[in-house]
Amino acid sequence: MKTGIVVKTTGSWHTVKVGNERINCRLKGNFRTRNMTNTNPVAVGDHVIIESDSDKTGTIIKINDRQNYIIRKSTNLSKENQILAANIDQALLMFTLDFPETPLEFIDRFLITAEAYHIRTILLINKSDLYSSIQLKRLEEVTEIYEYAGYTVISTSITKNLNLDTVMGHLQDKLTLISGNSGVGKSSLINHLCPGLNLKTNEISRANQSGKHTTTYPEMVELNNTTFVIDSPGIRGFGLTDLNRNEIGLFFTDIFKLSRDCQFYNCTHIHEPNCAVIAACRTGLLHESRYRSYYNIYNDTDQKYRMG
């Protein structure tokens, strides 16, 4: 028996990394019944116990409990979810202020789902080489908004090799989910950090991959022996299903901190008197974009504030 980590899964074969060895494994037959709502019982990132057979293949006999996992919601009527990755240490959300523009509410929605899953997120603002002086001011402002909320924000240019060492420093020794809209530079980043890999980086092929009927599986990319990233076509969130509106304020890290000074312990920060969040918004301590996202998500229907 050996313990390993699943680095790739394609249908019935799963590649398990045991030390420096990669072993192709099948799953022991009786796993399928355990979780009927998932199409795939084993996911990239799973820690598994295998028995290896003589011919360099093996059998997965146990999947260890998952610290966390992300799912892709089914797009058909079968209501089956696909587990895309498990045991993520952190997420790296890449976005751009232009080419393409990313609405801050998209970022805020991503962040609260990550918070709800206790997954730390690092924000990476890419393509800084393309920004005008006005956009660079905006970059500073956006950086301040998210640093105030407690996040690490790194602005990068992949073409100009700007701050990519800093990014690597944050990835070291962790399994990181790399997320972000199509076209922001995810493949370019991974290619830079792992030159032999050569992921396709043209927008058209990437756009196809994030389409609804995608059949691509996420693969763990090994940057070094202890550092892995998962490129995640089609993932926009963490499959959050049951966040209720009264919990949203807990996951806006800045609003949560401010809310300790609200008069009412169960203040919704919408209409109550002596609300510290609204006060902070008036003085500019809390940026209005964060409050606006909170307000919009709070007022959304259940359906809309689900990600993915």
List residues binding Zn ion (CB under 5 A): 262, 267, 269, 275, 277
Give yes or no for residue 158 binding ligand GDP (CB under 6 A).
yes
Interacting residue with ligand GDP among 39, 135, 152, 159 (CB under 6 A): 159
Query: In the complex, what is the shortest distance from the CB of residue 308 to ligand GDP, in angstroms, rounded to a whole number?
Result: 17
Give yes or no for residue 183 binding ligand GDP (CB under 6 A).
yes
- Tell me, what amino acid is at 156? T
Give yes or no for residue 93 binding ligand GDP (CB under 6 A).
no
Q: How far, rounded to the nearest angstrom, does the alpha carbon of residue 96 sit from its chain's CA centroid?
A: 16
Q: Which stretch binds ligand GDP (CB under 6 A): 29-37, 57-65, 73-81, 178-186?
A: 178-186
Give yes or no for residue 14 binding ligand GDP (CB under 6 A).
no
Query: In the complex, what is the shortest distance from the CB of residue 162 to ligand GDP, in angstroms, rounded to a whole number?
Result: 8
Give yes or no for residue 135 binding ligand GDP (CB under 6 A).
no
Q: Which stretch binds ligand GDP (CB under 6 A): 1-9, 201-209, 235-243, 250-258?
A: 201-209
Q: Which is nearer to ligand GDP, 39 or 201 (CB)?
A: 201
**Number of residues counted as binding ligand GDP (CB under 6 A):** 18
Three-class SS of the chain: CEEEEEEEEECCEEEEEECCEEEEEEECHHHCCCCCCECCCCCECCEEEEEECCCCEEEEEEECCCCCEEEECCCCCCCCEEEEEECCCEEEEEECCCCCCCCHHHHHHHHHHHHHCCCEEEEEECCHHHCCHHHHHHHHHHHHHHHHCCCEEEECECCCCECHHHHHHHHCCCEEEEECCCCCCHHHHHHHHCCCCCCCCCHHHHHHHCCCCCCCCCCEEEEECCEEEEECCCCCCCCCCCCCHHHHHHHCHHHHHHHHHCCCCCCCCCCCCCCHHHHHHHHCCCCHHHHHHHHHHHHCCCCCCCCC
Q: Which residue is nearest to ligand GDP (CB)?
A: 185
Query: In the complex, what is the shortest distance from the CB of residue 170 to ligand GDP, in angstroms, rounded to a whole number?
Result: 17
Interacting residue with ligand GDP among 38, 68, 135, 201 (CB under 6 A): 201
Give yes or no for residue 176 binding ligand GDP (CB under 6 A).
no
Give yes or no for residue 166 binding ligand GDP (CB under 6 A).
no
Where does this chain bind ligand GDP (CB under 6 A)?
Answer: 126-127, 129-130, 157-159, 180, 182-188, 201, 203, 206
